[in-house]
Amino acid sequence: MATKIIFDKDQSTAFIKRTGYIKPGEMLEGFKKLESSPFFGDLKKSLADATAADFADIPTKEFEVYGSYCGTRLKNLKIAIVVSSDLSFGLARIFGTITNADNTQVFRTMEGALSWLDVKLPEDFHD
């Protein structure tokens, strides 16, 4: 798995791109990196692009732990998740339900997520 994080201070947003096979145990690592950043306290929004990520082997319990983490530790962030496959969409919707937060939404298109967050992608996000 590769996780790329770009912090955009002007938009108070973290842009996260996950690619490749996601092994069990790896999901929390990206958000722990986010939380350990010196910019974390100023963040208001997060966009996670998971369109090129494979979550097929993540156990339900890990989604529950991850959802709980986001629902508590990241409850002050507005979180948009972008996925492309039906499986990823279903898993992300389950995750959104687990967080039990109105601040988390799942999208099939980048445009929908950007509109909901009211942000623009940084130039180097897709590099």
Q: Is the pLDDT of residue 1 over 60?
A: no
Q: Within 13 Å of residue 8, how many CA atoms lie on the same side as its CB?
A: 18
| Separation CA 100–CA 115 (nearest Å) | 22
At 87, give phi and psi (nearest 5°): -65, -50
Q: Is 0.85 topped by the overall pTM?
A: no
CA 44 to chain CA centroid, nearest Å: 13
Q: Give the pLDDT band of residue 127 (cuts 50, 70, 90).
A: low
Q: How far apart are CA 51 and CA 19, in angstroms?
A: 8
Tokens of residue 122, six digits: 């940084």
Q: Which of the two residues, 12 and 102, has the higher pLDDT score?
A: 12
Q: Which CATH class is domain 2-117?
A: alpha beta
83-87, 107-111, 112-116, range with greatest mean pLDDT: 112-116
Q: Where are the beta strands (DSSP E) in the chain?
A: 2-8, 13-21, 45-54, 78-82, 104-107
Check residue 90 and give its pLDDT.
Answer: 63
**In this model, does residue 87 exceed pLDDT 80?**
no
Q: In this predicted model, which residue has the larger pLDDT, 113 or 40?
A: 113
